[in-house]
Structure 1
Amino acid sequence: MEEYDKAIEAYKQSVEINIGHEGSLYELAFCLDVVGQLEGSLSYYKKFIDEDPYSAAAWYNLGIVCNKLEKYAEAIEAYEYAIAIDETFASAHFNMGIPI
């Protein structure tokens, strides 16, 4: 976990320096999810999606975090967006059934 903590700090610095840097936003959200900081992860995935609303992967990962937070309606909506962007996104189709 220590490596994730270092990565989180580095990505936070990158986001502060390069506001809206999509790669840093996405990776920061992912790292926060891994270490269990779900609200932070949710926030950064939303910021990433604001910058790149056509990222099926970001919508999918947002759905995963929403599901972990028991925000099931938001999770389903996020998976639906991922599928609308990429209808072949099998994991998004599969995860649609998890919150039900």
Structure 2
Amino acid sequence: MKVIESGKFTAERAWGALDICVMNGTSCRLHWTDKPYKWHVNDGEEVFAVMQGEVRMHVRSDGDERTLVLRAGDIFHAQAGDEHFAEPVGEARILVIEKEGSV
């Protein structure tokens, strides 16, 4: 059993992660970042929960691009194949649940 105080977690680099657990091939990781990620497509579903901060989630679908603003407590769910990237506004802490080894 463990308790993780997400607001105290930092990493040495953007998108550094604290591995919380792996359950039946699904990883649960806490990320700290102050820089955007890159456009990518996951090979499985992804749950992206903003624990602290604000994140602009950029998504593409059928050639259209839009931006969603996620604040602390908001959750984004991407299906396998959904193209997206996250851009924090300042520092953010994000809980990501996805297939183990997913990019």
Considering the TM-score relative to the shorter chain, is it more than 0.5?
Answer: no
Hey, which of these two has a bigger chunk of strand by percent? Answer: 2
The normalised TM-score by structure 2 is: 0.26
- Where relative contact order (Cα < 8 A, 6+ residues apart) is larger, the structure is 2
Greater helix proportion: 1
TM-score when scaled to structure 1? 0.26
